[in-house]
Amino acid sequence: MSDYLVRPARAADVQGIYALLEPLVERRILLGKDIAVLYGAVQEFVVAEADGRLIGCGALHVMWEDLGEVRTLLVEEGWKHHGVGRAIVERLEEHAVGLGLSRLFCLTFEVPFFQRRGFEPIGEQVVDPDVYTQLLRSGDEGVAEFLDLAHVKPNTLGNTRMLKHLV
């Protein structure tokens, strides 16, 4: 396999991100995102590229002053186990540190992958009650999943909530 590059996503990458995401949405591994939502969040994404085509992506969503979420992390099947996912997460972590975040959250089926990256399974109370109250006002479904709200529980069945403390 050839080398790959992990870089910030550009608007021109959104169609490729959508194409990577759709097979996993169809298999109910990831939640679908409208293309307009992906364009609106393009600045949160990094992509992995090989030979001019996208082979993976991931996003960092800031949730609070000290807390971010790794979202929409995926790697094309043929590129799994080649360090692409690790490189994407490392890039997102660097960005999180640059933003002043000290914790990263993820909701995942890939528990061993994230454990190797220092994430640990968590319970429900990750933020203090005042922050929880503020986050309840968010219309973002990812924040609702983080808060473990009842209306998103069908979306999160089988997933593990994980957290990493950044250095």
Per-residue pLDDT tens digits for 57-72: 999 999 889 999 999 9
* 69 Cβ contact partners less than 8 Å away, ≥ 6 residues apart: 60, 61, 63, 104, 105, 106, 107, 142, 146
**69-114, pLDDT tens digit by residue?**
999 999 999 999 999 999 999 999 999 999 999 999 898 889 999 9
49 φ/ψ sector (left φ>0, alpha ψ -120 to 50, else beta): beta
Helices (runs of H) and strands (runs of E) counted in the chain: 7, 7
Q: Write down the pTM of the prediction.
A: 0.83
Q: Which two tokens stand for residue 78?
A: 């043929």
